[in-house]
Chain A
Amino acid sequence: MKISSDLKSRLIEAMPNLRAFAISLCGNADRADDLVQETLVKAWHKIDSFEDGTNLKAWLFTILRNTYFSQYRKGRREIADADGEFSSRLSVQPQQQSHIDLQDLSAALNELPDDQREALILVAAEGFSYEQAAEISECAVGTIKSRVSRARVRLAEIMQLEDWEDFAGDRYGDAVRVSGDPVTRG
């Protein structure tokens, strides 16, 4: 099967986006790369159904998310890396404080329902319009809007909650040290 070199280079251009979207959905880089691979194979073989002049990235994202929801979603919970695929994938190590933030973010993303996470990534991270995201996810624009809106708030809530739990955990830890184990205090 041959496709034009122009189309091929546009596929290559879309790869970073496909990978980032796949990692966001899968929560695991190895599975994400498998998902991207499968997406590209499918896209290649049905490239005739792509209408030139339309948005190639959106077309590819549709294939990827359909593949994810039909084949990859099931294993997500067991495999997702709660420590933060997002942060551990970063090639440039962020400063310590923001590294912690990124781990929190990734863990928080993992807690979102699949459909909300998908909508949030498409719109807030990838920059698709609500209309494009609705086409990719094959649902109504209003549904995407409400998913994105709930996902934003939920994500902020989870991250705030984690801050609070860290704080509470520290206090509890102090109490335990004081009453039970003075040696641990340097």
Chain B
Amino acid sequence: MQGRLAVGKHDDNQGKTSGNSAMNPMPPQAVDAVGRKLKATYDEMLREPIPEKLLQLLDDLDQTKEGTPAGDVSADDTRGSDAADKGEE
């Protein structure tokens, strides 16, 4: 998937050196090891069960009438068109 490439919008941290520049450069093996640990930890998180309230949310949205945003999704009600327009955009 080729996408548009926005250029140069975020340069907030450019040129900022790392905080430990006085130390020896990190050996690539150490950097790789930390990267693998990160990936393994993240993969564990992906295997966690999804909280019921998030699954319920989609069912609630499905039930909602056309053009009626489910503002407060934790409340199990079917409010009218004055339901909170929850921060679109």
Contact = CB atoms under 8 A, between A and B. Distances in A.
A42 B88 contact: yes
Residue in B18, B19, B39, B58 whose Cβ sees the most chain A Cβ within 10 Å: B58
A87 B41 contact: yes
Interface residues of A toward B: which range?
35 or more
Given A33-B54, A157-B26, A41 B38 contact: no
Contacts of A41: 57, 61, 69-70, 73, 86
A55 B35 CA distance: 25
B51 A124 contact: no
B57 A92 contact: no
A105 to B, nearest CB: 6
Contacts of B41: 86-87, 90, 102, 105-106, 125
- B-side binding surface: helix, strand, loop or mixed? loop
Nearest to B55: A12
B75 interface: no
Nearest to A157: B20
Given A86-B45, A102-B41, A155 B34 contact: yes
B47 A153 contact: no
Interface residues of B, number: 55
Interface string B40-53: 01101111111101
Contacts of A107: none
A91 B66 contact: no
Given A105-B41, A120-B38, A150 B18 contact: yes
B32 to A, nearest CB: 9
B54 A16 contact: no
A154 B45 CA distance: 22
Given A38-B86, A89-B48, A102-B41, A147 B13 contact: yes
Interface of B: 1-14, 18-20, 23, 26, 30-31, 33-35, 37-39, 41-42, 44-51, 53-55, 57-58, 61-62, 64-70, 73, 86-88
Interface of A: 1-3, 8, 11-12, 15-17, 19-20, 23-24, 33, 36-38, 40-42, 44-46, 54-55, 67, 71, 86-87, 89-92, 101-102, 105-106, 109, 113, 115-116, 120-121, 124-126, 131-132, 134-135, 137-141, 143, 146-147, 150, 152-157, 159-161
